[in-house]
Every structure is written in structure tokens, then in C-alpha cells.
């Protein structure tokens, strides 16, 4: 019972920005929004997380809607190495992954 | 600074056997979580250990058990293996802190378990 909804797959061109959406309409006030990505044959890699405010780090930006029912992971300039499955998850007590979004980067 | 390390990387067992998987957390981390990832699926939470006790548990039967040692390393044990237990088993570590849900999890690359 994933608490988030993401598109199954997305495509983007190399060197262009990518916006990965996530819906979490049942989010509670104490749920943090986390994003991870998983490359083939590797464990998931932490990307970014936030609670209410937009967040930036060296990998990406996280835009959180004012009502917190949705968020968007932004990769500012996609490279071929960004091709992966991206998971948006809510963390309060238990951690529940959905199926994520498979991001394809076109050269 | 070593990240999360898991051993072995691959393992083959037969139905009915028992298996133990091991995990060393990232330096400075005190909390270890285990996940099962079937092919093409997202990771499924098994349980989490903190201060040598199981703190949270997902929807897995009692055949799945674990342990955490004083040095924070952890083991996942699975008894009476079934064909359906074939999966990638991932370990993640984090620092519990005041707000555990505000802490990123760092994952190892997993143990690929195949049941024949």
C-alpha cells in the first residue's frame, strides 16, 4: 500500500531539465517526503528530502506544493548517468516504497 | 569512509534451508533497516533495528528474524526458505537522531538470494 503515486516511466533529453512528479494526497503533518534513485544492480541512493519548504542540494531540487499533497523532483540538467528508477516515499514510522518512475535519458 | 557493506553479494540456497545475511552500517549510523526487493518491484520494508531491538516491522512472517549487535552491525535470518524468497535483500543504515524520519537512509548494494 504505497502512499505515493508516480508515473511508471518518463523520458527526457540529455542536458535538459527533468521534472518528476509525485502525488501523496494522504500525507500527514509529520511525514517527510524523501526521494531515492536506483541504478541497475545497485541499492537505492538518497537524493533529497524535505518537510514543507523547497529544498536544494548538489544533486537536485525538491519542490513541495503548499498543501503538501504533491511534490516534484527537479534534475536541472539531465545526464545519461541520471537514468534510473526514482522513488518518492513518505517517512513517518514505516517506510513504504512504491514502484517508482523509470527515467530514460535520450542522448 | 566506508558506506554500508553487505555480505555475501550472492547466495544460492534450496527450499527449506536457512540463511543469514550480514550488514555493516555506515560509520556513525546507529539504525539498520532491511528490505526485500523482488525483480521489477520497489523495496519492501522487512524490519528496523535500533539499540539492538526490533523497532518497526513490515508485513513479513516470523520466518524472517534479525539481530543487531553492540557495534550496530546487523543480521537478517530467514528460516524454511521458499521459492518466493528469491530476491535482492537490501540493508540501509541511518542516524536515528531526534526525528528519525528526517534522516536519510544509506543503502548497501544488497545480497542476491536465489532459492532452487
Identify the pLDDT of residue B103: 86
Look at residue A2 and tell me whether its pLDDT is greater than 70. Answer: no
Which residues of chain A are at the B interface, by a Cβ-Cβ cutoff of 8 Å?
2, 30-32, 34, 36, 41-46, 49, 51, 85, 87, 91-100
Identify the pLDDT of residue A99: 87
Identify the pLDDT of residue B98: 67
Pick from B43, B101, B102: which is nearest to A44 by CB?
A: B43
Residue A92's pLDDT band, with cuts at 50, 70 and 90, is confident
Task: Measure the CA–CA gap between B67 and B89, rounded to whole angstroms.
Answer: 15
A20-73 pLDDT, tens per residue? 999 999 888 888 999 999 998 899 999 999 999 899 999 999 999 999 999 999
Identify the pLDDT of residue B85: 98
**Three-class DSSP category at B64:** strand
Asked if residues B11 and B19 have their Cβ atoms less than 8 Å apart, the reply is: yes
CB contact under 8 A, A44 and B101: no
How distant, in Å, are the alpha carbons of A7, A65, A66, B105 from that of A69?
16, 6, 8, 23
- List the Cα angle B68/B29/A89 in 5-degree steps: 95
Residue A93's pLDDT band, with cuts at 50, 70 and 90, is low
Peptide bond preceding B91 in cis form (omega within 30 of 0)? no
Task: Measure the CA–CA gap between B88 and B85, rounded to whole angstroms.
Answer: 9
Pick from A44, A85, A100: which is nearest to B107 by CB?
A: A44
Identify the pLDDT of residue B92: 95
Task: Measure the CA–CA gap between B63 and B78, rounded to whole angstroms.
Answer: 5
Residue ranges in chain B whose pLDDT is less than 70 = 1, 98
Which residues of chain B are at the A interface, by a Cβ-Cβ cutoff of 8 Å?
4, 33, 35, 41-45, 56, 58, 90, 92, 101-102, 104-110
Among residues A9, A89, A103, the alpha carbon closest in space to that of A48 is found at A89
Cβ-based burial of A58 (10 A; exposed 0-12, middle 13-18, buried ≥19): exposed
Pick from A32, A51, A97: which is nearest to B43 by CB?
A: A97
Look at residue A1 and tell me whether its pLDDT is greater than 60. Answer: no
Size of interface A-B (CB pairs under 8 A): 53
Identify the pLDDT of residue A30: 84
CB contact under 8 A, A31 and B105: no
Identify the pLDDT of residue A83: 97
Cell 511534490: give the residue: A71
Among residues B64, B113, B59, B57, the alpha carbon closest in space to that of B90 is found at B113
DSSP states of A14-63: TTS-EEEEEE-TT--TTPEEEEEEE-TTS--EEEEEESSS-EE-SS-EEE
Look at residue A84 and tell me whether its pLDDT is greater than 70. Answer: yes
Identify the pLDDT of residue B1: 63
Interface test with B, best of A38, A86, A95 (most B CBs within 10 A): A95
Amino acid at each position: 500500500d504505497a502512499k505515493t503515486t508516480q508515473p511508471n516511466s518518463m523520458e527526457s533529453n540529455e542536458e535538459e531539465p527533468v521534472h518528476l512528479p509525485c502525488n501523496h494526497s494522504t500525507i500527514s503533518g509529520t511525514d517527510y517526503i524523501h526521494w531515492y534513485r536506483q541504478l541497475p544492480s545497485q541499492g537505492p541512493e538518497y537524493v533529497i528530502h524535505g518537510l514543507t519548504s523547497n529544498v536544494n542540494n548538489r544533486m537536485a531540487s525538491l519542490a513541495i506544493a503548499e498543501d503538501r499533497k504533491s511534490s516534484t523532483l527537479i534534475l536541472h540538467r539531465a545526464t545519461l548517468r541520471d537514468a534510473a528508477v526514482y522513488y518518492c516515499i513518505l517517512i513517518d514510522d514505516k517506510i513504504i516504497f512504491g514502484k517508482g518512475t523509470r527515467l530514460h535519458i535520450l542522448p | 569512509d566506508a558506506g554500508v557493506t553487505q555480505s555475501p553479494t550472492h547466495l544460492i540456497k534450496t527450499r527449506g534451508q536457512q540463511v543469514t545475511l550480514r550488514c555493516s552500517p555506515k560509520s556513525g549510523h546507529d539504525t539498520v533497516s532491511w528490505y526485500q526487493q523482488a525483480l521489477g518491484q520497489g523495496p519492501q520494508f522487512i524490519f528496523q533495528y535500533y539499540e539492538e531491538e526490533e523497532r518497526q516491522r513490515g508485513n513479513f512472517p516470523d520466518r524472517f528474524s534479525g539481530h543487531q549487535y553492540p557495534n550496530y552491525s546487523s543480521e537478517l535470518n530467514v528460516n524454511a526458505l521458499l521459492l518466493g524468497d528469491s530476491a535482492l535483500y537490501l540493508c540501509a543504515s541511518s542516524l536515528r537522531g531526534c526525528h528519525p524520519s528526517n534522516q536519510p537512509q544509506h543503502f548497501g548494494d544488497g545480497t542476491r538470494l536465489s532459492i532452487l
